[in-house]
Amino acid sequence: RKVLHIVGARPNFMKVAPIHRAIRERGVLSQTLVHTGQHYDVKMSDVFFTDLGMPAPDIHLGIGSGSHTEQTARVMLELEKVFASEKPDLVSVVGDVNSTLAGALVAAKMNIRLAHVEAGLRSGDHSMPEEINRLLTDRVADLLLTPSADADANLLREGIAPSRIRLVGNVMIDSLLTAREQALRLPTLKELGFTPRHYAVCTLHRASNVDDVNTLRGLLSALAHVASRLPVVFPVHPRTRKRIVDMGLGSTLERTPGLRLVDPLGYLEFLALTSQARLVFTDSGGLQEETTVLGIPCLTVRENTERPITVDVGTNLVVGTDPARIQQAADLILDGHEKKGRVPELWDGRSGERIARLYEEVLGVGDAPRRA
């Protein structure tokens, strides 16, 4: 019985690695790892395989960048051939990127059993490409594996049968817990001249934030304010770097006191930085969850989140994109009024194992089912 995993973009790698490892260690199912090539820079892709101890992909499609339609369609065309030759019994997709949707649609069209890991997250914002990817992937998935109970509730509200939904916890946190000690041994902070808790980390790449000049300018001015109070390191996503150059904002940023722009970092180096930061300033989805587990205050510079549990129980604050509001929230934290949180249930490092067991169960092999 064979599981075929699809990865494509940076946030997929840390979700698939623990599932792939658990299946390998249990030795019951066979598996194929397909990389679509949606992300292709060494710093956006290869470094994660090394850092996460994941084997190189068995198949690489080399799709690259393009419009959403082009990218999704090209992945679909190639995946159809791969599914026909590999004949998987189950296709496993994770997250909400274009490669996720492409894999889901092809599996559904070819009548192959489909599992979606990280199912049920909803921002309610249909202008967000990831929201479309989430909705459609969940619609066609046979098995919807959720990270938290709010996701189950979303799916039930959309009329998905309860028998298709399983709460397995947050698989990305498996990677974090596995790598944390190793990350803390790296000299990353020292090399940047930082001391623990005396710097902030920023990431920005969401299309709605970086493709609009006014929004991006506003966010960067709020960031400059944070940087006037403590050093900020900003690993710049390729999409964001292009926009900064196109909009002529590069020289201002380079001259901003306290702000350090660097290339995208590997998984371990980045974890070394976030886990010891005073504050994280981001529009990422995954970082909202990682900071909640690490207990680090997070300012999410978006109008909404598909991960409300990080706000309800974790350290995350969704502060929108108005610079005055962001500065106010940052000042509160830096003045010592930070939000405390706790780790959501089942974000315990065992999700990969639960998923591997479930795949065995639905494929009719392995042990008797255990509560997921």
| Interacting residues toward ligand UD1 by CB under 6 A | 9-11, 38-41, 44, 65, 71, 96-98, 129-130, 205, 237-239, 242
Cα 59 to Cα 36: distance, rounded to the nearest angstrom? 8
Rounded least distance, CB 255 to ligand UD1, Å = 25
Which structure tokens are listed for 45? 């892709």
- Our CB check for ligand UD1 shows the closer of 21 and 39 to be 39
Rounded least distance, CB 334 to ligand UD1, Å = 27
Which structure tokens are listed for 252? 């201002």
- Our CB check for ligand UD1 shows the closer of 65 and 328 to be 65
Sign of the CA dihedral running 168, 172, 178, 181: negative
Torsion of CA 290, 296, 302, 304, to 10 degrees: 70
- Our CB check for ligand UD1 shows the closer of 302 and 354 to be 302
Rounded least distance, CB 321 to ligand UD1, Å = 17
Rounded least distance, CB 277 to ligand UD1, Å = 20
Among 20, 39, 116, 205, the active-site one is: 205
Rounded least distance, CB 284 to ligand UD1, Å = 7
Rounded least distance, CB 123 to ligand UD1, Å = 11
60 noted as active-site residue: no
Cα 102 to Cα 216: distance, rounded to the nearest angstrom? 30
Cα 35 to Cα 29: distance, rounded to the nearest angstrom? 19
Farthest CA pair distance, the chain: 61
- Our CB check for ligand UD1 shows the closer of 56 and 156 to be 56
- Our CB check for ligand UD1 shows the closer of 130 and 152 to be 130
Cα-based distances in Å from 275 to 114, 172, 222, 298: 34, 15, 22, 11
Cα-based distances in Å from 317 to 94, 113, 168, 276, 336: 25, 37, 25, 18, 15
Which structure tokens are listed for 316? 């995350």
SS3 200: strand
- Our CB check for ligand UD1 shows the closer of 40 and 359 to be 40
Cα 37 to Cα 8: distance, rounded to the nearest angstrom? 5
Q: Which residues are catalytic?
A: 205
